[in-house]
Amino acid sequence: MHSANGMAERIKDITSVAGVRSNQLVGYGLVVGLDGSGDQTNQTPFTTQSFMSMLKQFGITIPPGAKFQLKNVAAVAVHAELPAFSKPGQTIDITVSSVANAKSLRGGALLLTPLKGLDGRVYAIAQGNLIVGGFGADGRDGSSVTVNIPSVGRIPNGAMVERSVPSTFANGGKIIFNLHTPDFTTAKRVADSINDLLGPDVAMPMDATSIAVQAPQLAAQRVDYLSLLENVNVTPGESSAKIIINSRTGTIVVGKHVRVSPVAVTHGSLTVTVREDVNISQPGGFSDGNTVVVPESSVEITEESGPMFEFAPGPTLSDIVRAVNEVGAAPGDLMAILEALKQAGALKAEILVI
């Protein structure tokens, strides 16, 4: 097995089993019990229509032309993730989001809402009291303050599963592991580790992502089989040379495989300073002149010396960091240096800006 390295990981941590996946659910419903922070129904007629439709299900008919304000009601979208192998009777968490102009869902309760999959079938039923992390306050003068997002809330275990999603786990003679990060080296090492444990030709890499493994036909035997395989240790292949730059925070992460060809770099800056002063012009004695204020501007240009440093062939990450620190480059300057090296063809790495 390729587990001598201290960076060895279990197969279950770096792969997923084909056919074992979660499914997205979505629904539309009403949140009631709000403290006057619901939809402005004169601007959102679908909220009123939804409320009237709900009342009809309970035998209550609103007279035609009746006008009313539903300040304590909000139309919402409900979405959830249905885990693989979920069975009827189990519960899942749900997220509730306002779809109109409700200011806050704090204190509200979601009424019975069916959650459907892409096939249009109902897989879960949601209902319950919302937990809202944000809040807001308004003043009579029009001022307001809002913390986080009060128009979105969650209901832990707020939906009950009503239908299972068919799974292909028990079908076929093979189990396929899909790597979270495609890599030919890692795919080969996963197959080699399984073959070292179970014998030759049990596992075969299909491409940089998938590894096919011979498996028992019976579902119960497959569970025992996967329990064994997912705990096999594998040393993943090392990633390619990358530099990741966060342009918002100035954070720069440089991978250890980054190399630079022989190149010389200089770093400097040009500073332009404009200063406004005020002088007093005083007339001579016994003259008819007046005292006046005279503005005086001065412009200075300062060019700092830019020390030059040279990269030897194939410097390591520590060499790059040490050289850049010696010239006092800030994160923004380092981004410019790295980009210049890339344009010059001296930087052997991929630059990703996030």
- pLDDT, mean over the chain: 79
> What pLDDT is recorded for position 285?
61
What would the DSSP string read from start to end of 118-182? TTS-EEEEEEEE-B---EEEE-TTS-EEEES-TTEEEEEEEEEE-SPPP--TTSSSEEEEEESS-
Which amino acid belongs to residue 10? R
Q: Which residue has the higher pLDDT, 166 or 317?
A: 166
pLDDT tens-digit profile of 105-154?
Answer: 999 999 999 999 999 999 999 999 999 986 665 555 555 566 678 899 99
Q: Residues 171-219: pLDDT tens digits?
A: 767 889 999 989 999 999 999 999 999 989 899 999 999 999 998 888 7
Contacts of 278 (CB under 8 A, 6+ apart): 293, 294, 295, 296
Domain made up of 9-20+168-234: CATH architecture: 2-Layer Sandwich (3.30)
- Contact at 8 Å (CB) between 30 and 74? yes
* Range of lowest pLDDT (7-11, 53-57, 165-169, 183-187): 165-169
Spell out the residues 6+ positions from residue 241 whose beta carbon is closer than 8 angstroms to its own.
255, 257, 258, 259, 348, 349, 350
Q: Is the pLDDT of residue 50 over 70?
A: yes
Query: How many whole angstroms separate alpha carbon 156 and alpha carbon 94?
Result: 7
Domain residue spans of the chain: 9-20+168-234, 23-161, 242-268+305-353, 272-301
Query: pTM to 2 decimals?
Result: 0.66
d(CA 168, CA 17): 11
